[in-house]
Structure 1
Amino acid sequence: MPDSQIKSVDIQIAPEDLKTLKSSNYKLCFAKKVNDSYNVVWQSSSAYLSDNTFSWQPLYQIFGSNTFQGNVTVHAATNQVAIGLGDEITLDKDGLLGNASSGGPATSITLNNDYGPIHPGLSAYSTDINGRGTTTPIYVAEAPIVSGKDVLTPVEAVQVWFEQDVVTSTMFSTARSNAVEIDLTEVNSATRLYSGGQWSKPKNVALFADPATVLTIIAALTAAVVIQDLASKIASKLTGVYKDVKVEVTSMGGSTVKIEYREQPGLGGAQLAQTQALLVNPTAVDQLTGFAVEAFAQLGKGYVTLNATTR
């Protein structure tokens, strides 16, 4: 499947908001627009962190349900069949969905209903904020359709919000409180920040490098060094377990340099949590300090004083 068909949203949460949401047992929820409406919780998770990535592809399944009821999880009453945009399918008089075939609008899914009153539904594939791929419901028609044709049009837009006591596949018919809509019809990715209880577009995708995850080394060298050369020598050592660590080197005047280690920008989920924990681990602090000393030696410089701190 072409990369252009992969869509993703990055949800960043400010530290104080994260604490508030977690302490009150709020879940991070996503819904996908179909036929200009949102009415099913596509994914709901309590395992969110400061930076969370949710992605999806246009892989759909169609089904029929006997009911639509708010605050109840979706129940597929018919068989479920894989279907793509630009396809059509028939629900026969016995309530069985046949095989999908080409037909109908190119951006929609067409159901030919020979059964009678039914609530058409769609499921879609997504990769959740913990990297797990699943197919779960995104839509159920609120009113049943009778015999005839119905057209379902998924839209590349998602709604994101926080809510207590809600699970994946829950139907809803009322507006979600303090939700943000993210339109990806013209782009493949977007980032939103939740800070102070409000949604916004962040100016910097790396806003939440927790200060406690930064290791700083101040070293007075025996002679001046080219900052770019030192940074390059240290960076070449950041492999394996340290691949998600970034180094920055600046001059403090004369032969004194400041070396800062922090997580690479754009990390999310487990990667971010693991890197943050690594940067305050005493063994890792010793190893990263050792990388700096090795780089000094490679450049033919010693050090007079060296002070390493985490903050």
Structure 2
Amino acid sequence: MGSYSVTIQLDNAWIDNFNKTGMKLCMAKATKDSSGKEYFNVIAKTVDSVQPQMTITWVEEYKIEATAITFSKGAQISGTAGAKDINFGQTYQIQSWNKTQVFMDTQNVEKDSFGFANNIPCSIMLSMKDGNSFVPVYISEEVVIPGMTTLTPIPKVVFWFQKTVASQTMIVNTSGTPWYVTPTAGSNSTIKYDKNGVWSQVLQ
């Protein structure tokens, strides 16, 4: 599981305006469900005071859990507990709220995915390592009926600017103009937001 880094260059023309009006840099990360659909439905990180250059880093280490929290646009995830470490090719199984386990499951789970097997209705929460803690990056948009499904974290993130939001907020769509980045593990990608409000990739 690699480490990733994206540097965001913000034109000086926006700095004072964004900070005075409470405009934040937001990031969400992609997770693919068993149908192949990509989701960016939790704000993983925000930068509350923007600067001319900001670097966002993360590590692909994950925790997974079953939760009674249900998806609600604009609500902030809080109070989660009971998450377990999970590696690619493993399945998280919940038999009851007090009985969960993680095990290798190469017969049912691809080497770049996670399995989720549940005996009770629940939502799936996936969190990613951010510094010394873990932050939610995905929650199932519907309660999952008992059965087996898979999730695949994708090294793809989206950035945008938005007011009055916070990390761990559930979202349906990004606000304003988003910019998608697929960085490479172990190297830095750079993007910029120019004085005209246009995103672009900076060639290395």
- After TM superposition, the structure 1 = structure 2 runs for residues 258-297 of structure 1, keeping only pairs within 5 Å, are none
Report which of the two has the higher share of strand: 2
Aligned mates of 1:71, 1:80 — CA distance in 2: 23
The 2-side partners of 1:201 and 1:139 are apart by: 26
Give distance in 1, aligned partners of 2:41 and 2:59: 19
Q: Describe how 1:22-171 pairs up with structure 2 within 5 A.
A: 22-35=19-32, 36-66=38-68, 67-75=70-78, 79-92=82-95, 94-96=96-98, 98-103=100-105, 104-115=109-120, 117-127=121-131, 133-171=132-170
Q: Does 1:15 align with 2:12?
A: yes
Partner amino acid for 1:102?
M
- Name the CA distance, whole Å, in 2 between partners of 1:14 and 1:65: 41
Distance 1:97 1:171 in 2: 27
Q: Deviations over 1:179-228 (max 9, x none)?
A: 1110125884310001121111235x7xxxxxxxxxxxxxxxxxxxxxxx
TM-score (norm 1): 0.59
Q: Which amino acid aligns with 1:101?
A: F
Using the TM superposition, give the Cα deviation of residue 97 of structure 1 relative to its aligned residue in structure 2, in angstroms.
5.4
Provide, for residues 220-252 of structure 1, a one-character-per-residue CA deviation record: whole Å limited to 9, x for no partner.
Answer: xxxxxxxxxxxxxxxxxxxxxxxxxxxxxxxxx
Aligned equivalents of 1:63, 1:76: Cα separation in 2: 13
Higher relative contact order (CA 8 A, sep 6+): 2
3-state DSSP class of the match of 1:110? strand
Task: Quote the residue 2:35 is aligned against.
Answer: none
How many pairs are equivalent? 194
Distance 2:138 2:39 in 1: 9
Q: Is the 8 A contact 1:26 1:162 kept in 2?
A: yes
CA distance in 2, matches of 1:49, 1:77: 31
Q: Work out the CA distance in 2 between the residues paired with 1:191 and 1:125.
A: 21
DSSP-derived class of the 2:191 partner: strand
| Conserved? CA contact 1:113–1:149, under 8 Å | yes
Is 2:202 aligned against 1:198?
A: no
Larger-gyration structure (1/2)? 1
Shift of residue 18, structure 1, vs aligned partner: 1.6
RMSD: 2.0
Whether the 8 Å CA contact 2:94–2:101 is kept in 1: the answer is no
> Identity across aligned pairs (percent)?
23
Is the alpha carbon distance of 1:54 and 1:175 closer, same or farther for their aligned partners in structure 2, counting shifts above 3 Å? Answer: closer
Asked if structure 1 preserves the Cα contact closer than 8 Å seen for 2:4 and 2:185, the reply is: no
CA distance in 1, matches of 2:99, 2:202: 45
**Residue correspondence of structure 1 range 155-304 to structure 2 within 5 A:** 155-184=154-183, 188-195=187-194, 196-202=196-202
Residue ranges of structure 2 left out of the alignment (5+ in a row): 33-37
Take 1:98 and 1:176, find their aligned partners in 2: how far apart are those partners? 37
The answer to whether the Cα contact below 8 Å between 1:157 and 1:185 also exists between their aligned partners in 2 is: no
Contact in 1 for aligned 2:19/2:49 (Cα 8 Å): no
More helix by share: 1
The amino acid that maps onto 1:156 is: P
> What is the one-letter code of the residue matched to 1:82?
D
Task: Give the partner amino acid of 1:121.
Answer: M
Q: Which TM-score applies when normalising by structure 2?
A: 0.87
